[in-house]
């Protein structure tokens, strides 16, 4: 029995660490850059940005395909009809005759738009077959080859304007993708420091609870010896209770902040996050003028302003082109033939030509044309004024962010020193209180200043790093590496110039 007891005890001692490890969740240490990288890789906001970029890519592919040759096949196979139809007789009278016929046709067409003129050239081959089942007849009609052109004249050229606007729109979408990635970094930074502050508060509450409990035990012994008043003892007891309440609230705040951060960055595991306080900060200050120059060069705003002005100019051109003299040219030249068999179409075909010029021109419209044109011009002016104001607001936002970044960076050294001094002062005050040389009021003041200084330093770090990534978003420039933020890798055929 004694051996069995020893064996069971040894087994339990070996199993206990494993059980404890299974009961407690693993702790995952992470720093700010790791959290941001994870958010930019797998968060819902990052996936939305990637999907939006993918959408823009296929819109760009669709636009470019419009300027390339289009090959199409059309046909009607079959078009059968069995009915009674009115038929005009040789003497001019009408008689109703039963008919049973089928019409089939097939066409192959190759076309190419002409961007500078807005026209279209095409090559077409057509074939038609007619079957009269009542009379047992089959006839063929066809055009082996037709070359033609359609060309509007004096009209608004949508193709030419699209070729100016769409490349800007696509480049704008690429820069928007980078901005949205940096916005993910800003949001992740905010949530990171929310959790870091909650963890700091939890750590402060835990230490305060432990310190207050220790001081209360010491004070209780002093009270028994008559060296401490009842009032001071009760005040310390109240501090212990308040520390317990603060500890419970800090634990709840930490759980809430951790859940918010995990949800945003897309973490599915149950590991407990333990965040590191960022120590190093970027060296040097940011100059306002170079930062503004980088913002104008890298951000989507410059492209957005140019695109909107071009769109407004295009609407003016459309108003002018659609309400004046409009004419269109249509011309074809080809071969045609008919016969009783399919091969007859290609035997000695005859020439076929066709040319048509149509036009429309308003004579009296009671000022309608002038009104439409004037509205388009005024809208263009409104867009110009709006763009000027937005450009000024954008410049102001960049300059303000640069000033805020430099100010917050300079403040970090002050809050860090204040944090260290307040922590040291509290330790001195605590030890001095233990030997009875200061009052409980002085100790509480030192405790409050220590906690406040620590929270202020974490808040300063939060404000600085949020300003850091906000400045990156506003300029799309990495001031640590002194280079623009790298864009997404280009896909095959994605280049704007291709």
pLDDT, averaged across the chain: 88
The yes-or-no verdict on residue 3 having pLDDT over 80 is no
pLDDT, tens digit, 9 for 90 and up, residues 203-258: 989 988 888 888 888 888 888 888 888 888 888 889 889 889 989 999 999 999 99
So what's the pLDDT on residue 78? 86
Assess contact for 220 and 157: CB atoms under 8 A.
Answer: no
**Cα–Cα distance between 4 and 328 in angstroms, integer?**
106
Separation in Å, CA 162 to CA 50, 58, 118, 316: 25, 16, 11, 14
**Residue whose pair of structure tokens reads 């769409």 in the numeric block:** 166
The pLDDT value given to residue 366: 85
* pLDDT value at residue 20: 44
**DSSP alpha helix (H) spans, 439-497:** 440-475
In order, the DSSP letters of 233-278 are: HHHHHHHHHHHHHHHHHHHHHHHHHHHHHHHHHT--S-PEEEEPPP
- The phi, psi pair for 284, rounded to 5°, reads 80, 170
Write out pLDDT tens, residues 326-343: 899 999 999 888 888 888
Average pLDDT over residues 172-189: 94
pLDDT at 4 over 80: no
* Token pair recorded at residue 41: 């890789």
Domain boundaries, the chain: 26-63+161-306+383-484, 68-114+119-156+325-361
Q: What is the average per-residue pLDDT within 160-173? A: 94
User: What is the value of pTM for the model shown?
Assistant: 0.81
Res. 262 pLDDT band, cuts 50 70 90: very high
Distances (CA, A) of 407 to 32, 414, 463: 21, 11, 10
Element (H, E) at 315: helix 300-322
Radius of gyration of the chain (CA): 41
The residue ranking higher by pLDDT, 242 or 490, is: 242
Q: Domain 26-63+161-306+383-484's class?
A: mainly alpha
**pLDDT the model gives residue 496:** 58
Residue found under tokens 């769109």: 311
Quote the tokens at residue 147: 């070359």
In this predicted structure, which of 26-40, 259-273, 399-413 has the lowest mean pLDDT?
A: 259-273
Question: By three-state DSSP, how is residue 328 classified?
Answer: strand
Q: What is the pLDDT of residues 72-88, one digit of tens each?
A: 999 998 889 998 888 88
Cα 15–Cα 16–Cα 17 angle in degrees, nearest 5: 95
User: Are the C-beta atoms of residues 345 and 352 closer than 8 Å to each other?
Assistant: no
Structure confidence by residue, pLDDT tens digits, 468-479: 999 999 999 999
CA–CA dist 35, 189 (Å, integer): 8
């Amino acid at each position: 029995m004694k051996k069995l007891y020893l064996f069971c005890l040894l087994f339990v001692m070996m199993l206990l660490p494993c059980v404890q490890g299974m009961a407690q969740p693993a702790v995952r240490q992470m720093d700010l850059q790791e959290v941001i990288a994870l958010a930019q890789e797998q968060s819902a906001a990052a996936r939305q940005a990637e999907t939006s970029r993918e959408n823009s890519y296929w819109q760009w592919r669709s636009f470019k395909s419009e300027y390339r040759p289009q090959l199409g096949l059309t046909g009607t196979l079959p078009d059968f009809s069995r009915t009674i139809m009115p038929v005009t007789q040789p003497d001019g009278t009408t008689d109703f005759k039963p008919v049973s016929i089928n019409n089939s046709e097939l066409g192959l067409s190759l076309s190419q738009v002409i961007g500078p003129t807005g026209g279209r050239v095409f090559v077409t081959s057509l074939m038609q077959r007619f079957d009269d089942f009542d009379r047992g007849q089959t006839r063929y009609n066809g055009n082996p080859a037709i070359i033609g052109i359609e060309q509007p004249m004096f009209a608004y050229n949508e193709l030419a304007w699209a070729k100016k606007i769409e490349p800007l729109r696509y480049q704008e979408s690429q820069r928007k993708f980078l901005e949205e990635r940096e916005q993910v970094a800003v949001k992740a930074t905010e949530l990171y420091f929310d959790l870091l502050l909650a963890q700091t508060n939890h750590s402060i509450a835990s230490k305060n609870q432990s310190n207050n409990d220790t001081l209360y035990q010491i004070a209780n012994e002093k009270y028994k010896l008559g060296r401490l008043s009842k009032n001071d003892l009760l005040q310390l007891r109240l501090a212990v209770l308040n520390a317990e309440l603060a500890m419970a609230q800090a634990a709840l705040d930490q759980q809430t902040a951790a859940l918010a951060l995990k949800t945003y960055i897309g973490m599915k595991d149950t590991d407990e996050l333990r965040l590191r306080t960022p120590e190093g900060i970027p060296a040097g200050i940011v100059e306002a003028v170079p930062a503004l120059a980088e913002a104008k060069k890298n951000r989507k705003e410059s492209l957005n302003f140019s695109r909107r002005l071009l769109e407004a100019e295009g609407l003016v051109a459309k108003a002018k082109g659609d309400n004046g003299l409009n004419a269109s040219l249509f011309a074809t030249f080809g071969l045609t033939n008919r016969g009783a068999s399919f091969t007859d179409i290609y035997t000695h075909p005859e020439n076929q030509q066709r040319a048509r010029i149509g036009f429309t021109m308003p004579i009296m419209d009671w000022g309608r044309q002038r009104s439409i044109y004037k509205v388009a011009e005024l809208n263009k002016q409104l867009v110009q004024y709006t763009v000027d104001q937005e450009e000024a607001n954008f410049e102001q936002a960049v300059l303000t962010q640069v000033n805020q970044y430099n100010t917050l960076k300079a403040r970090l050294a002050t809050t860090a020193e204040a944090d260290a001094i307040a922590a040291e002062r509290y330790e001195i005050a605590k030890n001095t209180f233990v030997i009875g040389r200061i009052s409980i009021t002085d100790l509480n003041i030192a405790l409050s200043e220590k906690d406040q200084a620590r929270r202020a330093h974490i808040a300063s770090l939060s404000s600085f790093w949020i300003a850091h990534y906000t400045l990156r978003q506003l300029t799309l420039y990495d001031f640590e590496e002194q280079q623009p933020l790298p864009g997404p890798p280009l896909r095959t055929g994605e280049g704007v110039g291709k």
